[in-house]
């Protein structure tokens, strides 16, 4: 019995020692210290057993920074305590410090002139070729617009790009007469009877007068040149309405339309159709007929005349 009592007393003393060892000291922000045991914890704070059956909950904000750091060493309390621990300025600067790392930079090519840079790369050469081709095409269009020879304008544009076409574009439109299209061919109304020498009678004069009187009178040729008229759809519809129909009136039965363009001359007996950019002509070669399209931009002169003129 004596041994049993000794064992019970020893166990009781050990229990008291363990309970005393579990008590902890907590420092508050106002300088006070508390001694007690942790009963439970949550987001609101700690519930402490202060002894003597007294329990009290303390918010996390009431504990000092040293106490919060000590509580943060416990894995279960760390997630709740860490938001209330103040980080020193030095550590905050280290965490937010931006580290600028060196990067590899491409070497810039040596500075050269614009033409030198264009000639120094394949892309630049393609751009120059496209600009040169556009220059020649512009010269061709300007030659049609101003009624100058295409070879002359394009040749000058080939030698002096941009400047050559600009010069011809500034010049007034050249008026081209019918005689310039076929050198040596006199117009029908310019043919006159031979004049006899002064003081002498020409035996052919009465015969020529009778032949002229017997010959049918042809209607005058109407000439429309670029620069004096704008060739478009409205022009042809208002000037030559009789050429659009399949059946011609007696007054316009033998009238034809001579169109002079950059592609050549076309004698049309009828206008088959017309669009906003070009006209379609019924051109006859012997017994066969062919429809030919002529853009308005290529037309230089239009003549409305009799087929025998």
**In this structure, are 34 and 71 located in the same domain?**
yes
DSSP, res 98: -
Establish if 212 belongs to a structural domain.
no
In our burial notation (b when 16+ CB lie closer than 10 A, e otherwise), range 95-118 reads eeeeeeeeeeeeeeeeeeeeeeeb
Average pLDDT for the chain = 79
Establish if 101 belongs to a structural domain.
no
> Looking at residue 225, which CATH number applies to its domain?
2.30.30
How confident is the model at residue 140, as a pLDDT? 92
Under a CB-based contact definition with an 8 Å cutoff, are residues 42 and 54 in contact?
no
Establish if 67 belongs to a structural domain.
yes
Q: For residue range 184-198, list pLDDT tens digits in order.
A: 344 444 444 444 444
Q: Helix (H, G, I), strand (E, B), or coil: what is residue 145?
A: helix
Runs of H (alpha helix) within the chain = 2-22, 65-71, 78-81, 89-96, 114-119, 122-146, 150-159, 163-170, 178-181, 205-214, 233-239
**In this structure, are 164 and 245 located in the same domain?**
no
Helical axes 163-170 vs 122-146, angle rounded to 10°: 20
Q: For residue range 19-58, list pLDDT tens digits in order.
A: 444 578 888 888 888 888 888 888 888 888 887 788 888 8
Cα–Cα distances (Å) from 114 to 11, 120, 125, 158, 221, in that order, read: 100, 10, 12, 21, 56
Establish if 109 belongs to a structural domain.
no
Domain count, the chain: 3
Establish if 38 belongs to a structural domain.
yes
Q: Provide, rounded to the nearest whole percent, the portion of the chain with pLDDT above 70.
A: 78
Q: For residue range 80-111, list pLDDT tens digits in order.
A: 888 888 887 787 777 777 888 888 888 877 77
**In this structure, are 238 and 289 located in the same domain?**
yes
Report the distance separating Cα 180 and Cα 200, nearest Å: 36
Domain range for 149: 114-174
Establish if 118 belongs to a structural domain.
yes
Report the distance separating Cα 239 and Cα 237, nearest Å: 6
* The pLDDT of residue 302 is above 90: yes
Q: How far apart are the first and last CA of the chain?
A: 161
**In this structure, are 293 and 265 located in the same domain?**
yes
**In this structure, are 137 and 60 located in the same domain?**
no
**In this structure, are 92 and 131 located in the same domain?**
no
How confident is the model at residue 136, as a pLDDT? 93
């Amino acid at each position: 019995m004596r041994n049993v009592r000794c064992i019970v007393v020893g166990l009781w003393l050990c229990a008291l020692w363990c309970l005393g060892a579990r008590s902890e000291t907590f420092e508050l922000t106002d300088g006070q210290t508390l001694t007690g045991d942790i009963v439970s914890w949550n987001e609101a704070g700690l519930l402490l057993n202060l002894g003597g059956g007294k329990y009290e909950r303390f918010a996390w904000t009431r504990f000092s920074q040293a106490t919060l750091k000590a509580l943060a060493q416990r894995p279960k309390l760390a997630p709740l305590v860490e938001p209330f621990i103040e980080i020193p300025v030095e550590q905050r600067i280290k965490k937010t410090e931006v580290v600028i790392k060196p990067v590899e930079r491409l070497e810039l090519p040596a500075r050269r002139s614009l033409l030198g840079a264009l000639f120094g790369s394949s892309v630049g050469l393609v751009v120059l070729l496209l600009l040169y081709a556009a220059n020649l095409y512009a010269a061709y269009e300007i030659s049609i617009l101003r009624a100058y020879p295409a070879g002359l304008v394009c040749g000058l544009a080939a030698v002096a790009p941009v400047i050559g076409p600009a010069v011809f574009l500034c010049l007034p439109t050249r008026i081209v007469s019918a005689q310039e299209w076929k050198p040596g061919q006199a117009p029908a109304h310019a043919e006159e009877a031979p004049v006899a020498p002064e003081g002498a009678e020409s035996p052919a004069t009465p015969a020529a007068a009778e032949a002229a009187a017997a010959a049918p009178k042809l209607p005058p040729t109407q000439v429309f040149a670029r620069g004096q008229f704008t060739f478009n759809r409205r022009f042809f519809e208002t000037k030559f309405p009789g050429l659009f129909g399949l059946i011609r009136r007696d007054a316009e039965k033998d009238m034809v339309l001579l169109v002079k363009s950059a592609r050549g001359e076309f004698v049309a007996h009828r206008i088959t159709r017309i669009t906003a950019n070009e006209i379609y002509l019924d051109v006859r070669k012997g017994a066969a007929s062919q429809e030919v399209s002529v853009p308005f931009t290529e037309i230089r002169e239009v003549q409305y005349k009799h087929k025998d003129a």
